[in-house]
Amino acid sequence: MKNLSVIFAFLSLCLFATINTYAQPDAEDKTLSPYFFVKGDNPGYDQLPLQGTTADVNIAGTIADVTVSQIYTNEGSTTIEAVYTFPASTRAAVYGMEMKIGSRTIVAKIKEKGEARRDYEAAKAEGKRASLLEQSRPNVFTMNVANIKPGDRIEVTLRYTELLIPTDGTYQFVYPTVVGPRYSEEPVMTASTDDKFVASPYTQAGEMPLYHFDINVHLSAGMPIQDIRSISHKVNISYPDLYDAEIILDPTESIGGNRDFIMDYKLAGGKIQSGLMLYEGENENFFTLMVQPPKRVEVAQIPPREYIFIVDVSGSMHGFPIETSKQLLKNLILNLRPSDRFNVMLFSGDSYVWSQESKLATSGNVEDAISIISKQHGAGGTRLLPALGRALDLPRCENNLSRSVVVVTDGYISVEKECFDKIRDNLDRTNVFAFGIGSGVNRHLIEGMANVGMGEPFIIPNQDNAAETAERFRKYIQTPVLTQVKAEFDGFEAYDVEPKTIPDVLAERPIIIQGKWRGTPSGNITIKGLTGGKPYKTTFDVADVMPDGRNVALKYLWARKRIELLDDYQSVSHDDKLKDEVTALGIRYNLMTQYTSFVAIDHEEIVTENGEIAQLVNQPLPMPQGVANSAIGCEVAIEGVVRKSKKTKRQPSLKIGTIEAKELSSDMILILKNSLEKTLNASMSCHKAGIELPYHIDVQVTIDEHGTITAVKLLSKNLDETIWLCIKNNIENHRLKNLTLGATSTFSVPVKFVM
């Protein structure tokens, strides 16, 4: 068909003054924003109180127990309060904290979050040393240490445990090291306490962390170890025997805290630790059952599928993440079967969909989609939620296809719960899988999306792993290992079992069942299901296993799993009863939760007197390795200068005047005007502070018969090239909603800026 070429003479793009988005907005217009750390010249207070963080990891069988030590000092002359935001595993059950000051050790108490905060603030006001550990997200914690006087050395230690679940015979232990900058549109005035961490200081991209990092791992596998490797850091490995290993961080990695520590290991013969573990407590007994699934079935038995790839092309993906995403998508799309259907959606501040209906994976369609993806560079904000909703609402071309949505992002957003809600609300019709791209991804979002979608998270920390991970994902989704899975208890009195229903097993990873038990440990546990259309059954004799006091972690792991489930429901229903239940579980099992915190107070010494107020210091965080400065953006450069919310009147907007087009109906002209206005305004995030916009620009736009902008060309030479490329990437290949033009037409569109 003949394309429609439309020449837009963008006349009188008037700016009454140079637009400076760095200007300090009014308080009600501020939004939460990360900012770049700028070291001041005031020697009176220490801006870098965190000296180092060390993790000692003990892995016994399938359970990891981790002790994290943080050293805080004050080399200035003013008493300070240190605030440090750091990540943890999304599966971590944090069960203890201590604060050491000289020879004194103060054991922290778990309390309701508000009560813990009040105790901390009171101690701080009284001049006492105190520490407070709060959860902002299941994988983002904030440590406050009050009244660190000059010359002090305070060590805060926290402990957590997690269950390691292998996939395809490979175990992976991840120790997250840095919280990446989050994109947020939430105004400061209305932001919750849990969102305050978004406004954290960051060093520039490429700068090494300003504190020491170390990690040591002792692995006692219980079976012969075949292979150990770290894909993130250089490590030194020794083997005392076949079953044990010591993994020590190489001294050259002492400032390697700008990327997650990742360690993979395999047992001999690709085996996994499976079986039943029991723990008998004073008041309650706990069990965990790990069952190795059957082997895969043939691909020929699997029906055709539909895949919708949602790809993050925002500013934080610029550089290595977006290039890795391109490689990943190429690998995934090129390996689709011709009978599969697929679609591609790109998102940043707005979203673009490749086709209004998924297409067959023919060579021509695959080539076209890859061409679109290859043009992306990474710019704009990260608005995943509207893109996810748009993808889920796309019409189905066939009812019998199994639809899977694949999200590719670094996850630097602050609306995780809303995304979880969207996925949970559509579980009956769509599978959702998540790819995290980058050296310090938001694992809460990536793993949380997989959790509520009953799927598997995939993390790609660097480009070298893209092809391998894409192949693992392809194998994972194409062949269900076990379906219609059920657990039966015969003669074993189990209760409070998680999960209540077992999802399909889509990879060679074990089935995990956790719960409590009463009475004598006896009877049988049977797992049933279908594999390749044939019945599957395996039975465990409980009497063959003795309760072991060393399995105390089972109670923390069960409680953490129950809390995770309640948090998911809470994000949907916002029920106060669920909040109370989570709080009660945290207090009962001494666990950090969204509603419980650890607080430690030193009552032996008063540090500040006569009303002295400690200087607040936010510990600067390193930019995750491979993440560009555009993840924070150019809106802010120093603390206190924050991005304005969308409602601010200082943000310019584009307005389109009267369009003269006799060949178009008035309704069609209105649709064209509104669609163009929305598309152009979405590209205004491309403007950078300090760069003056011209009075007018001339742009040529090509629109095909379906209303899709297929090409954009700048005719004038008076616009900054970087800004133009950003605008071009934002609007090119964007379909103008509800616009279908059947005839060639040429018309001009007058556009102006309004403040």
529 against 609, higher pLDDT? 529
pLDDT at 405 over 70: yes
285 against 474, higher pLDDT? 285
pLDDT per residue over 312-322, tens digit each? 888 777 877 88
Q: What is the mean pLDDT of residues 269-295?
A: 87
At 511 the three-state DSSP class reads strand
- Mean pLDDT for the chain overall: 79
* DSSP H/E element including 600: strand 596-606
Query: Residue 142 in contact with residue 85, Cβ under 8 Å?
Result: yes
The CATH class of the 44-270+590-618 domain is mainly beta
Q: pLDDT value at position 755?
A: 44
Q: pLDDT value at position 717?
A: 65
At 364 the three-state DSSP class reads helix
482 against 291, higher pLDDT? 291
pLDDT per residue over 234-255, tens digit each? 999 999 999 999 999 999 999 9
726 against 646, higher pLDDT? 726
Q: pLDDT value at position 683?
A: 58
pLDDT at 279 over 80: yes
Q: pLDDT value at position 643?
A: 41
With vertex at residue 306, the alpha carbon angle to CA 300 and CA 309, rounded to the nearest 5 degrees, is 125
Q: pLDDT value at position 659?
A: 67
Q: pLDDT value at position 441?
A: 81
Spatial distance between the Cα atoms of 223 and 460, rounded to a whole number of angstroms: 28
pLDDT per residue over 102-152, tens digit each? 888 999 999 999 999 999 999 999 999 999 999 988 889 999 999 998 899
709 against 588, higher pLDDT? 588
Q: What is the mean pLDDT of residues 331-340?
A: 82
Q: pLDDT value at position 507?
A: 66
Q: pLDDT value at position 7?
A: 33
pLDDT at 214 over 50: yes
pLDDT per residue over 14-52, tens digit each? 232 233 333 344 545 567 777 777 766 566 677 888 999
152 against 485, higher pLDDT? 152
690 has which bridge partners?
A: none
Sign of CA dihedral 316, 319, 320, 325: positive
Q: pLDDT value at position 502?
A: 76
Q: pLDDT value at position 752?
A: 58
Model pTM? 0.65
pLDDT per residue over 463-474, tens digit each? 777 778 878 887
Q: Domain coordinates of the chain in residue numbers?
A: 4-19+652-754, 44-270+590-618, 303-439
Quote the distance between the C-alpha of residue 39 and its chain's center: 29
Q: pLDDT value at position 689?
A: 47
**pLDDT band at 215, cuts 50/70/90?**
very high
Sign of CA dihedral 345, 350, 356, 362: negative
CATH architecture of residue range(s) 303-439: 3-Layer(aba) Sandwich (3.40)
Alpha helices in 514-614 (DSSP H): 553-573, 576-589
pLDDT at 632 over 60: yes
Query: Residue 580 in contact with residue 563, Cβ under 8 Å?
Result: no
pLDDT per residue over 642-698, tens digit each? 344 444 334 455 666 666 666 666 667 777 777 767 666 665 555 554 456 665 666
pLDDT at 595 over 60: yes
pLDDT per residue over 60-89, tens digit each? 988 999 999 999 999 888 899 999 999 888
Q: Helix %, strand %, coil % for the chain, to 5?
A: 25, 35, 40
Highest mean pLDDT among 216-220, 442-446, 605-609, 664-668: 216-220
pLDDT per residue over 375-404, tens digit each? 777 666 667 888 888 888 888 777 656 678
**pLDDT band at 161, cuts 50/70/90?**
very high
**pLDDT band at 302, cuts 50/70/90?**
low
